[in-house]
Amino acid sequence: MTYLGAIEGGGTKFVVAVGTSTGEIVDMESFATTMPEETMGRVVQFFENKKISAIGFGSFGPIDLNHASATYGHITLTPKPHWSNYDVVGHIQRHIDVPITFDTDVNAAALGEAMWGAAQGLSSCLYMTIGTGIGAGALVEGKLVHGLTHPEMGHLLVRRHPEDLYAGRCPYHQDCLEGMASGPALEERWGVKAYELSSDHKAWEIQAYYIAQAIMNYMLILSPEKIILGGGVAKQQQLLTLIREQVRTMLNGYIAHEAILNRLDTYLVPPQLKDCSGITGALVLAHQALQAAKAASIKHP
Ligand code: ADP
Ligand code: ZN
């Protein structure tokens, strides 16, 4: 049996797992994200003696995914203290000699859902997370979208809700989507934890107004076959209902497809893999790393 290593690196916690290329997780652990040396040390320690053949790593970002770059595998410019310019992939590679595929946490989650979750069998989907930050990963024509760096779909500009006086908290753009609708924004605006707000609180209508704008834009630009909404804040089921209503209202019938007009409840859905979309997707990344290494060794034995 070939075992694969998976890492989901988040700003709050890291999840590490060992699993198979069919998506079965046989061992999993999670721990708080602290200082980079300490956190990456725990990652390496977990994989010691696990006999894994490759690693897939979905990471919080921004990250450098360009193989030709001197800073490939680094976290680049993050407001998270001590992690800016930290070489996360290099740290692993110094201790574990297996091929590694590195990607964004949200791309990994999109891949996990496409392989074994809500978007199984589809060649396109989008995974959006609303948690400490907001981000999205997209699969288009069977491939994860990268580009010059990687998409940063959490920082879209949004139209302000007419009753919302909150200033926004994005250190770069103030009232971009993440600045207005991340978990911490929601909590700063209302002065309570997000899960303490009653399900009929005004907060959810305002929240849905912002998230729906982003989803409409993602739909217009990428036309994904399925949109999956994950992250802590999206656990509020009433929010999903409100978002669907707003998306329908804002689109105003413009995308004349039955999936949008009549089946939005099966188009815009929670993650089928629950809290495991990212770590399961990282297993797929590991499988890809192994396949790529095998192909390279056939070409250059
Ligand atoms: P992270 O983004 O750090 O990986 P989460 O996706 O859990 O982690 O997001 C954390 C944010 O989501 C926090 O602001 C938290 O208050 C909020 N959150 C977590 N669980 C819930 C819940 N059940 N309902 C509403 N908000 C929640
Ligand atoms: Zn921003």
Distance CA 102, CA 122 (A): 23
Task: Give the residue-averaged pLDDT of 102-122.
Answer: 98
Tell me: the pLDDT tens digits for 237-271? 999 999 999 999 999 999 999 999 999 999 999 99
Q: Given the structure tokens 């399900």, which residue do they identify?
A: 199
Q: Which amino acid is at 266?
A: T
Q: What is the mean pLDDT of the chain?
A: 97
Tell me: the pLDDT tens digits for 179-219? 999 999 999 999 999 999 999 999 999 999 999 999 999 99
Query: From atom 21 of ligand 1, which residue's Cα is the shortest distance away?
Result: 232
Which residues contact ligand 1 via a Cβ below 6 A? 10-12, 131-133, 183-184, 187, 193-195, 231-233, 235-236
Tell me: the pLDDT tens digits for 71-93? 999 999 888 889 999 999 999 99
The rounded Å distance from CA 212 to ligand 1 centre is 18
**pLDDT on residue 299:** 83
Q: Which fold, 118-270?
A: Nucleotidyltransferase; domain 5 (3.30.420)
Mutate to test the pocket of ligand 1, among 8, 104, 195, 277 (most ligand atoms within 8 A of CB): 195
Which atom from ligand 1 is nearest to the alpha carbon of 11?
Answer: 3
Distance CA 141, CA 220 (A): 16
The rounded Å distance from CA 200 to ligand 1 centre is 18
> Comparing 3-105+275-299 with 118-270, is the CATH topology the same?
yes
Spans of all domains in the chain: 3-105+275-299, 118-270
DSSP 49-93: TS-EEEEEEEE-SSB---TTSTTTTBB-S-SSTTTTT-BHHHHHH
- Contact between 228 and 136 under an 8 Å Cβ cutoff? The reply is no
Class of domain 3-105+275-299: alpha beta
Q: Which amino acid is at 226?
A: K
